[in-house]
Each structure stands twice: as C-alpha cells, then as structure tokens.
C-alpha cells in the first residue's frame, strides 16, 4: 500500500548517507537491510528490535527517517506519535515508513493522520525495504 504524502527532502549533506532508524523484530531482516543499504551507499540504517534501544537512540541521535514495524500496534504507534510530537532529536516531519502485519481502515486513518509516507504489508522482502529507502534520499 502506498500513501502519498507531500514530498520532503531528507536533510543530508552531499556524500553523507541518510541516517535511518529501523525498529523490526526479525533479526535477519533488519541486519540484511542494514548491510545492503550500507554497501549500496543508500543509507546508514541503525537497526534494533528493542524499544528500549529505540528510546536511547531517538534521545541522543538525529535521524533523517524511520522504518517502524507495528507488531503490537500500541508500541509502534507510540514511536510515530513521539516523533511527530517533536519529542526526539529528529525533525518532527521526518519521513516514516511503517511495516504492518495487517491494516484496517482505523489504522490506515491513524497513520494518514500522522503523515506516514509508506505502509509495507508483511510478509515483505528485503528488496521492498531497500526500494522504500528511496523516500529518505534527497530529491
């Protein structure tokens, strides 16, 4: 599912990779994306499956964008709300891509309200995530 949102260029310096935070429980998925993104010089993906780790990262580091898995809808939505409320070091309008096991109208509405850039339905391939990194690249 693709939700169109106003284009916003990721803040980046030429030669510096976009910094992306990935919250995803599947270890192999997130490590593969991080390694592939780095080798292709697409983005520096900071990956974790831990909400505690996310809390530490968003409090200390600025990210150009986020990929957030909504395994338990509450947890993932919490981070989206936190980011949009400006309660992190990142731009409150930073691009967010959501990974969801399922989507219904209510959730789609919530995500639209939070200006989520893309929703990727699981199961999805690493290739799909690699292609989704394009939202973080300065246009």
**Could you give the 3-state DSSP secondary structure of residue 102?**
coil
Query: Which residue has 């939070």 as its token pair?
Result: 114
**What's the min distance (Å) between Cβ of 67 and another protein?**
16
Rounded Cα–Cα distance for residues 51 and 3 (Å): 25
Give residues in contact with another protein (CB under 8 A).
27-29, 31-32, 35-36, 39-40, 123, 125-127, 130
**What's the min distance (Å) between Cβ of 34 and another protein?**
8
Which of residues 32 and 82 has its CB atom nearest to another protein in the complex? 32
Which of residues 47 and 64 has its CB atom nearest to another protein in the complex? 47
Rounded Cα–Cα distance for residues 43 and 20 (Å): 7
Which of residues 41 and 105 has its CB atom nearest to another protein in the complex? 41
**What's the min distance (Å) between Cβ of 35 and another protein?**
4
Rounded Cα–Cα distance for residues 101 and 68 (Å): 12
- Phi, psi of 93, rounded to the nearest 5 degrees: -100, 15
């Amino acid at each position: 599912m693709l939700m169109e949102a106003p284009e916003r260029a990721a803040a980046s310096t030429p030669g510096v990779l976009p910094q992306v935070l990935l919250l995803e429980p599947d270890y192999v998925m997130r490590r593969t994306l991080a390694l592939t993104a780095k080798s292709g010089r697409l983005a520096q993906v900071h990956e974790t499956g831990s909400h505690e780790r996310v809390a530490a990262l968003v409090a200390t580091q600025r990210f150009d964008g986020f990929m957030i898995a909504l395994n338990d809808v509450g947890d993932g939505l919490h981070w989206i709300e936190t980011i949009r409320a400006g309660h992190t070091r990142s731009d409150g309008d930073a691009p967010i891509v959501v990974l969801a096991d399922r989507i219904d109208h209510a959730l789609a509405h919530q995500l639209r309200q939070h200006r989520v850039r893309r929703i990727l339905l699981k199961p999805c391939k690493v290739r799909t995530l690699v292609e989704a990194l394009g939202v973080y690249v300065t246009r």
